[in-house]
Amino acid sequence: MTKEKVPNRQTLTSWCRQLDEAHKLGVRTSQTRLVVIKCLSLFSLIIGFYFFSHIAHSWVVNKVHGTHSHIIGLGLALLFAWLLQGVSNHKSLDTKTNTLAKLEKALTAVFANRQHALVRQQTVFYWQSLWQKQLHDVTDWAVEYSVQQAIAVIVPLLALAVIFVVNPVIGAGLLVTLPVVPLFMIIVGKGAAALHQKHFIALSRLGSMFTDRLAALPMLSTFQAHEKQTDLLKEASETLNLRTMKVVSVAFLSNSVLDFFATLSVALVAVFIGFTLLDELNVGPEITLQQGLWILLVVPLLLSEMKRLGQIYHQKAQAESAMEALKPIVASSFCDTEMKDDTVDATQTISAHGENANRFVAEKFAVFDELAEAGQGKNAIVSAQTLTLNKGDCILLSGRSGSGKTLLLEALAGQRRATHRCQWPSIWLTQHPVILPSSVRDNLCLYDRYTDQQLLAMLEKVELSHWLKQLPFGLDTLMTDYPLLSGGEAQRLSIARALLRDRPLWLLDEPTAHLPDEQHHRIAQLIYRLTQDKTVIWASHKALPANWFSGFWHVEHQQVINKHPLSHAEKKEQ
Amino acid sequence: MKNESRPAYITLVLAVVHATAGLSILVISSWFIAISAIAPMGFNYVIPAVVIRGLALLRIASGYASMWVGHKDLLGRIAAVRMDVFSQLHNCQLDDKASSTEALAQHTEVLASKWIAWISPLSSVLFIFTVTCITALWTSLPGAIYLVILYCAWIILLTLQWLSALAIARENTEATSAFRRASSHFLAASPIWHLNSKKNVENAPSAASVWQQQLQQKRKTIHTVWMFQGAAFLLTLLLMAGVLPFAEVAVFAPIALIVPMVLLAAPDWASASFNAVANAAQHQQSSNALDSLNTSPIRHLAEKPVLTSLQLTHFAAKGRSTVPVTINLPAKGVVAISGASGCGKSSLLQAIAGLLPATANGERKVDGHALPEGLVKRWLYVEQEPIILSGSIKMNLDPAGCDISQKSMCELLSALGLDTLLPLTNWVGKSGRQLSGGERKRLALARAVLAEPIVLMVDEPFEGLDIRTQEQVCALLEKEAQRRLVIVASHVLPTALSIDKHVVLEEANVENTGLHERQLA
């Protein structure tokens, strides 16, 4: 295994870069392009201010209309500023659309790789918000926030340079009185960070308490606890609000510093220029009205972009929480490249035994926990000295519930990070068979095509012909969200679906666990009969005849051990 | 929502002062510089200089105050709106769980933030713009007509944006629910993805249409701001070029600079209104969503003691494909209901408790008297996946605040092997200690037992428990059964549990649930 070193606390920027490279999102080029366009637009505006102040000078001082060249200059500069702004708007939205499409593709690819092994770990609601909301949050941050961050540094420098050229005294004054750009970045950053974090946390805490009680509505109703809980909720939000206001008042102060300097610098510069023009002050070079007005117009640019950054600060907070959720998942797709290297090992082992496609041998087999940090993830959650599987074997996999039987099966199927994976095409049968709300035919075919004859033959094999005859529209009967199938019938339907696909390896994850004993025996018999020509690994803690099996694996204390057929591997647990 | 609390006038006034001070500083400063350049005789420069500095201080102070007041108001409002929603939901249940509780929290936040999100920015721009236009016309400032033209353009753009923003917000809601539906089905089918890995990726649902609507809303806003900026720049240029409509005469005085300055800066001080419109559309959508909340009321029945028996005839939960049952249950003792998963054990228990409506011809009779539909007081149902409130153990055991003695709580917890959860002040749930499935089940069982039920219904109490704990639970259930009716639904029944009556539920199939008639009808 090549060790992938990921620092414990990764910043959003470096994570985004990593993501960008891994999935060829092209975000960085777009970011640079956007920054250049936006800065050019603002620069044109500064030029526009120059011509504007010239015309104003002619009006007020010379009492004539502005010259043609100045008017044309003003027109062109404003036109450029406006057009470039339009281009940057357009580009920014386009980049977002593209990035979102690419991220979505990456996510579905992860789904395809990891399948049920990943999806079963969280609720459907979790995956939906990850998909719909958090991908969007990351994109917003990458395309909007980080671009604005760069602009907020460049534009003030540009403005300051212009002011310096026009009047070094005001320039120097601004440089000294305003505690310089980097310091401002920190103030804005820290101030807004503190504000938003505290505010964000307070709101989400209150929100989670609210949703918590909403989800408990029926329970509260049964226990007649609604009024008591209403009072508690009210009390909690009042104390929380009080506390939040105390914290936020301080956080607002630091945010107001920016507003303070922005406003005061305009006012002071205006007064300074006015007094110099009036000859009341004689510091530095002479100022004309044109120069004074130009400076006055440029000064707000020193801080306006930074203020805009503060306004979209929430994007950073949201992107950070999105990163926490996305990191382990997207990182696991990196692991797939690792895994391919390991499968080379496995194939080598296979060829070393000279029996290639008919035998799967895994020496020092280990399954890893991928949701843990990569650094700690090397601890195996299930391991085995040697696992040997021959074509046509039928293995009983036993162990207490929660001992790791499912993890082992998932690793063999390649849905989990492990040292080896079995390359044979496989079929899964799980405890709860999936019945889609569509027709019986769609449930069997999924995206493949089979003739009606094939379908009927399969249903006959799994003893569902009688059931099918009773359906009003035969194969075209819709299953709906509450399908009219008993647990046994549903499992039979899923066996028929599996049989239609001729795959050599069957992984059975307690397919009869939720069935009453009599049903369990009948379905188990059926599976045994129909899988005679397949390789089967059957996880079960219900009784199964020992003479069905050619091998016995038992999982205990995170270890898979080969057990003798006569031991109590198949002992009933409950 | 009916209960709109009083408007936040202070927030509004502060926002208007903040914005007005900002624009005034710019206008007065430029005029001051201009007049200083030509310095007429006897010009009193002290007053404008003081006014400028005063305005700066006013702007800073009002900025801080409006932020502070606005957020305080927001927090208060969120609390008020949520309490309102919560008390409306008294004795109701939400029809669609996880997504809708989150959405509700979101909607209430949008609703509460209406003052800072759109009312104050929109009205302050409206106020400044209108006042500036009127003042300019009143004092016949040179170029005032351009300001009026920009004002008209602003109104038109705002109206157009409002119309399309509403439509987009509506489509967004539709796209979101379509995506939720499609992705739910897609994700639920994850155990069979491996059968068609490649085609699955190709046919996976996409959130693109949701994002497209969201981006569309943004695009519309940015585009309108951009159009407005274009209009402002064009008018500035025309004015500076000396193109004057009507009979206005070019005035070359410092006062002439005011209108061009206001026009040039218009994108800065007026664009907040366009964001406000988008927020207003969102507010409209959230308010609609809250009005059309899908809830079903829970009817409460008075306490009904069971003296001799509880009879069920043709009884089943409505709308589920399960077989109706006809049984007679004793007033005391353990009744076990078993059957395969999916045969309707849970829905039967919920129907008995009154949490789910029963089929039309089904009856539940207590001592020979039929009960109407509704939740019977002190007939308690313990869910398969019980809900644990995020709060202390004590609050979870006594959610209604009935002053249950701490001693009995502790005793019960140790009888169930939950000593590890003690002391009672321990915080559990979302922001506290996470409980395992088995712990949640036992905690919920303890909660029900402490409420002294008449009928205690427990759904799958043994799943996820080891043998030792199962025995503890059995002992408790048996003890309780001496005083009341205990109904246990489970697909496995531990040998340790002594059962007074055993009901095996038939599995539903096409023949016995009447699917035939329903699908053909």
Which of chain A's residues have a Cβ under 8 Å away from the Cβ of B29?
Answer: 266-267, 270, 274, 296
Express each pLDDT in B458-490 by its tens digit.
Answer: 988 887 777 788 888 898 988 888 888 899 988
Are the beta carbons of B97 and A215 separated by less than 8 Å?
yes
Task: Give the single-character DSSP code of A478.
Answer: B
- What are the φ/ψ torsions at residue B336 (nearest 5 degrees)? -105, 135
pLDDT at position A350 over 90: no
Identity of the residue numbered A498: A
Are B344 and B323 a contacting pair, CB within 8 Å?
yes
Express each pLDDT in B127-170 by its tens digit.
Answer: 999 999 999 999 888 888 899 999 999 999 999 999 999 999 88
> In a 3-state reduction of DSSP, which class is residue A509?
strand
Facing A104 at nearest CB: one of B208, B264, B431: B208
On whether any CB of chain B is under 8 Å from the CB of A489, the answer is yes
Give the burial class of B436: count Cβ atoms within 10 A of its Cβ; 0-12 exposed, 13-18 middle, 19 or more buried: exposed
Express each pLDDT in A17-41 by its tens digit.
Answer: 878 777 777 888 899 999 999 999 9
The nearest CA of chain B is from the CA of A5 a distance in Å of 30
Are the beta carbons of A216 and B387 separated by less than 8 Å?
yes
* Long-range CB contacts (within 8 A, 24+) of A261-264: A261/A178, A261/A184, A261/A303, A262/A300, A262/A302, A262/A303, A262/A304, A262/A307, A263/B22, A263/B25, A263/B56, A263/B59, A263/B60, A263/B63, A264/B56, A264/B60
- Rounded to whole angstroms, the Cα distance separating A523 from A526 reads 5
**Residue of A320, A438, A338, A465 lying closest to A15 (CA atoms):** A320
- Rounded to whole angstroms, the Cα distance separating B344 from B321 reads 8
Are the beta carbons of B53 and A267 separated by less than 8 Å?
yes
**Residue of B242, B32, B21, B248 lying closest to B124 (CA atoms):** B21
**Average pLDDT of every residue of chain B:** 83
**Residue of A132, A150, A135, A130 lying closest to A30 (CA atoms):** A150
> What pLDDT score was predicted for residue B340?
67
Size of interface A-B (CB pairs under 8 A): 407
pLDDT at position A339 over 50: no
Are the beta carbons of B400 and A78 separated by less than 8 Å?
no
Which of chain A's residues have a Cβ under 8 Å away from the Cβ of B240?
Answer: 52, 55, 66, 71, 74
Are the beta carbons of A428 and B92 separated by less than 8 Å?
no
- What are the φ/ψ torsions at residue B326 (nearest 5 degrees)? -130, 110
Burial pattern B191-217, b for ≥16 Cβ within 10 A else e, equals bbbbbbeeebeeebbbbebbbbbbbbb
Are the beta carbons of A115 and B193 separated by less than 8 Å?
yes
Segment B428-447 mean pLDDT:
79
**SS3 breakdown of chain B: % helix, strand, coil, rounded to 5?**
60, 10, 30
A311 or B117, which is more confident? B117
- Rounded to whole angstroms, the Cα distance separating A562 from A554 reads 6
On whether any CB of chain B is under 8 Å from the CB of A571, the answer is no
Are the beta carbons of A111 and B241 separated by less than 8 Å?
no
The residue among A85, A143, A214, A506 with the most chain B CBs within 10 A of its CB, best to mutate, is: A214
On whether any CB of chain B is under 8 Å from the CB of A108, the answer is yes
Segment B1-9 mean pLDDT:
58
The nearest CA of chain B is from the CA of A74 a distance in Å of 7
B residues 128-157 lying closer than 8 A (beta carbon) to A: none
| B55: nearest CA partner in chain A | A267
pLDDT at position B98 over 70: no
Facing A71 at nearest CB: one of B34, B241, B386: B241
Are A434 and B475 a contacting pair, CB within 8 Å?
no
The nearest CA of chain A is from the CA of B231 a distance in Å of 10
Give the burial class of B233: count Cβ atoms within 10 A of its Cβ; 0-12 exposed, 13-18 middle, 19 or more buried: buried
Instruction: Find all residues with CB under 8 Å of B85, minimum gap 6, and list them.
Output: B1, B104, B108, B290
On whether any CB of chain A is under 8 Å from the CB of B468, the answer is no
Cα radius of gyration (chain A): 34
| A68: nearest CA partner in chain B | B241
Q: How long, in residues, is chain A? A: 574
pLDDT band at A60 (very low <50, low <70, confident <90, very high): confident
B282 or A180, which is more confident? B282
Express each pLDDT in A241-283 by its tens digit.
Answer: 777 777 666 666 666 777 777 788 888 888 888 888 888 777 7
What is the token pair recorded at A253?
A: 């102060």
What is the token pair recorded at A7?
A: 């620092």
| A400: nearest CA partner in chain B | B466
Q: How long, in residues, is chain B? A: 521
Longest CA–CA separation in chain B, Å: 110
| A448: nearest CA partner in chain B | B196
